[in-house]
Structure 1
Amino acid sequence: MLHYRRPLPLVVGLFLVGLLWLCGNKVYSILNHQAASGVVILTYMRSGSTFAGSLFETSPDVFYEFESLKGIYDSENQEMNFLEKPTRLKRNYISEVSNIISSKLECRLTDLDIASLTQYHLKRSRDTKPYFDCIKPHRTNATKVEIYRCLHLFQKPCSASKVRVVKEIRLPMEAMDTILRASQSVKMIHLLRDPRAAIRSQMMYGNSPTTIVYPYAKKTCKDVLKDIKIREQLEKKYPGRIMVAFYEDLAKEPLRVTKEMYAFAGLRFTAEVEKYVKSITSGEINTSCLLCIYKSDSVYESQKWRKGINYYTAILIDSLCGEVYEKLGYLPLKTEKQLRDTNQSLRKATNHSRISVLSKQ
């Protein structure tokens, strides 16, 4: 009689190994989450966000992700497929992106949907690129097995970091209430830019749905104004956890502003960080690359739009964005000379011209 070895011990062994990995990963994630903090850079297309994000990315204490909502934003599929959760229909956008951002900031990667784990912008960050390169051959139709095989390249640096930073141009301010409420260790930086500069750049180099300035500028400033009003309420609800930053300040005084952002995030501003900031803003690296973060003169780059924008386009934007200007301190134009003279500031000389942490006393 032939005797067959029972496969049960092997099955039990594999089950126990998987259980230990899962439990160990969960415990490590919980312990690490208690020690780590998160920062959301909420901003808009062509508003200096890639530049600002790179200033955080250079810190060895930071895990940085570039626009993690690209996957769900682009997906036309009404079903959401997850790595470990059952497939389900999409809920409203605010709810979904709140969950994605919170999961990213807490390194709960197995809670994420497949689109978020395979989205194209994962290649844009030093910290997520090794993972992206691992799944790249299968990215457009990656199986769960293929994602699991590479996931440690994402999970390990995320869990080991002291501060997790995500920069987002597709995140509505409404979602930040849920995100800030979910964790006391999460903060937000609201990064803004002169609407005339941002709108011109978006229409020239972004993915503007129209080439007509009026409807695009009207909708853009309406959306920004809505975000500002919601943020003002959040500042009262979450004192000390929200920073307002301006791209123009960051370009003009990059060392000072970077120090303030680092202090806000609880990061060390080291000699290496200082060297990096100088290298990308003061001419040590010279490039004409349009979308690169490296600029030979950051002040010139931030003001260059004033030489190229049509004067009548600029005053049209003024007429559509008046409430945003009032909130942020930007000045409407009176003459074309005022526009072209970059020695004249287009913002009021008030507290708005400096990054401030707004908190309730």
Structure 2
Amino acid sequence: MRQPTPNTGMFGNITLLANIERALKHIWTVKQSKKPDYKSFGTKPNVVIILSCKRSGTSFFGELFNQNPDVFYVFEPLMYFTYMALNHEISNDKFDTLSLKMIESISTCDIHHIPYLSKWWEKGYNRRLSINFKGLSMESGIKKISERCNVSKLIAIKTIRVADIALLRDFIESEKANVKVLHLVRDPRAVMNSRWKLKEPNSDFLRKRRNGNATDEVVDLCQHTTRNIEYVSSKPDWLRGKYKLLRYEDVASFPIESSIEIYNFLGIDYPSALTDWLNNNTNKQSGNPYGTSRVSYQIINNWRKEIALNKLNEIQEKCKHTMTSLGYEVLNGEKQLLDIDGKIAYKAFTKPEFT
């Protein structure tokens, strides 16, 4: 039997092109059905760096991102540098350089170049990622982290260990990633009361004190906050449109509204499931001081029932400028301190935001 003659000429070419087009469309449809690797398309990763101080409500705040499956969330990746410095495994003057290298490695999903990677893995700091590594070797685990990072719509890094926002300038200006900064602050009276309740040393303060950069923890807290607020208030061009200041009290009082505002600022779709999580976790109290379940309206004022009057006066004296700049009211005497319904401890203030 004679074999059919293949299509040739102009119409044959048209048929061939049509077949190629259908094949390409099929390939594209398959790719679209999978979660895309954003970096493979040459798109710079979207990154948010959450900066704050110890016991400022960051564990709860970080859950606004950890509860989103499209977010690659990393909390306190710089912690092991603190312990390395305290154990004399690194010099204190290398802390900032290593911290910035860590932030850049995570932000660009370049996990293999995390400083002291073997130690980071061996000491279990990979547990600070919401990924199950049970039974995985370091090589397989790093591969898994990289893959998860690369397909995420947003990379969120929460840290209480960046001393100055200005340290982020070179990385943000390098434009290796689309970076925005969320700066979370909290009433210093609540912060210090929470720290004292833990009855454990503040490792990061000990590291700074050893280096001669701090002698008084209350002063260190408020100087850190004031220094950064004043820097941002100078409106540096490199931060324009990339910075947002938030008070913990506002977020805790209006968690859903605040979350929507934050996601809008980041240009990321707000996940509806987060509303359910917030409703379930801002209306109950866990006994874990590092937990994320809180009765929001109560936690804002709990410190007023617990703090000693002499400690209150000490903080207000040392932190008056910081408190005033952030809208925190001075409380005069025990009567005002305990009059939670009648004497509000914070008020509206002008945030140093700029576009």
- Tell me the TM-score normalized by structure 1: 0.76
2:48 to 4, 14, 39: 39
Q: CA deviation at 1:326?
A: 2.6
CA distance in 2 between partners of 1:249 and 1:229 (Å): 21
**What residue is the counterpart of 1:245 in the other structure?**
246
2: CA distance, partners of 1:90 / 1:172 = 13
Superposed, which structure 2 residues align to 1:151-230 within 5 Å?
151-173=142-164, 174-183=166-175, 185-205=178-198, 207-208=201-202, 215-230=216-231
Check conservation: 2:49, 2:157, Cα contact below 8 A.
yes
Q: Shift in Å at residue 60 of structure 1?
A: 1.6
Q: RMSD of the TM alignment (CA)?
A: 2.7
Aligned counterpart in structure 2 of residue 100 of structure 1, from 96, 99, 102? 102
Contact 2:329 2:345 in 1 (8 A): yes
Deviation, 1:313, is 0.8
Give the aligned partner of residue 350 of structure 1. Answer: 349
Deviations 1:208-235 (A, max 9, x none): 3799xx9321222222222222333465
Aligned-pair distance for 1:71? 1.8
1:275 — aligned with what? 276
1:186 CA drift (Å): 0.4
Aligned to 1:167, the other structure's residue is in SS state strand
46-55 or 340-349: which moved more? 340-349
SS of the residue 1:41 aligns to: strand
Q: Distance in 2 between matches of 1:256 and 1:337?
A: 33
What is the rounded CA distance, in whole Å, between the counterparts of 2:232 and 2:201 in structure 1? 26
How far apart are the structure 2 equivalents of 1:157 and 1:122? 13
Structure 2 gaps of 5+ residues are 1-36, 207-214
Preserved contact between residue 48 and residue 182 of structure 2 (Cα < 8 Å): yes
In structure 2, the partner of 1:299 is 297
Residues 1:47 and 1:91: Cα distance change in structure 2 (over 3 Å)? closer
- The yes-or-no answer on 1:123 pairing with 2:121 is no
Cα distance in structure 1, aligned partners of 2:96 and 2:235: 16
**1:121 CA displacement:** 4.2
**Which whole-Å CA distance do the structure 2 matches of 1:101 and 1:35 have between them?**
15
Corresponding residue of 1:7: none
Note the C-alpha offset of 1:259.
0.8
Q: Which residue of 2 aligns with 1:74?
A: 83
Deviation (angstroms), 1:307: 0.4
Q: Is the 8 A contact 1:102 1:182 kept in 2?
A: no
- Which deviations, in whole Å up to 9, do the C-alpha atoms of 1:272-317 show, x marking residues without a partner? 111111111024xx5333321012x211022111100011211110
User: Could you tell me which residue of structure 2 aligns to residue 336 of structure 1?
Assistant: 334
Displacement of 1:32 in angstroms is: 5.8
- Contact between 2:309 and 2:334, CA under 8 Å: does it hold in 1? yes
Q: Which secondary structure does the structure 2 equivalent of 1:110 belong to?
A: helix
8 Å CA contact 1:71, 1:120 repeated in 2 = no
TM-score (normalizing by structure 2): 0.77
Q: Which residue of 2 aligns with 1:53?
A: 62
Q: 1:85 — aligned with what?
A: none
- With over 3 angstroms needed to count, the CA separation of the structure-2 counterparts of 1:55 and 1:171, relative to structure 1, is same
Match for residue 109 of structure 1 among 91, 111, 120: 111
Equivalent pairs: percent with the same residue? 23
Instruction: Give the C-alpha shift of residue 349 in structure 1.
Output: 2.7
Q: Provide structure 1 residue ranges, at least 5 long, that are not aligned to the other structure.
A: 1-27, 81-88, 136-145
Alignment deviations for residues 1-25 of structure 1 (CA, whole Å, 9 cap, x no partner)? xxxxxxxxxxxxxxxxxxxxxxxxx
Residues of 1 paired with 2:39 and 2:311: CA distance? Answer: 52
Question: Take 1:32 and 1:320, find their aligned partners in 2: how far apart are those partners?
Answer: 51
Q: What residue is the counterpart of 1:359 in the other structure?
A: 354
- How many aligned positions are there? 303
1-structure distance, mates of 2:42, 2:81: 25
Cα distance 1:118–1:32, how it changes in 2: closer, same or farther (>3 A)? farther
Give the secondary structure class of the aligned counterpart of 2:68: coil
Question: Which of the pair has more CA radius of gyration?
Answer: 2
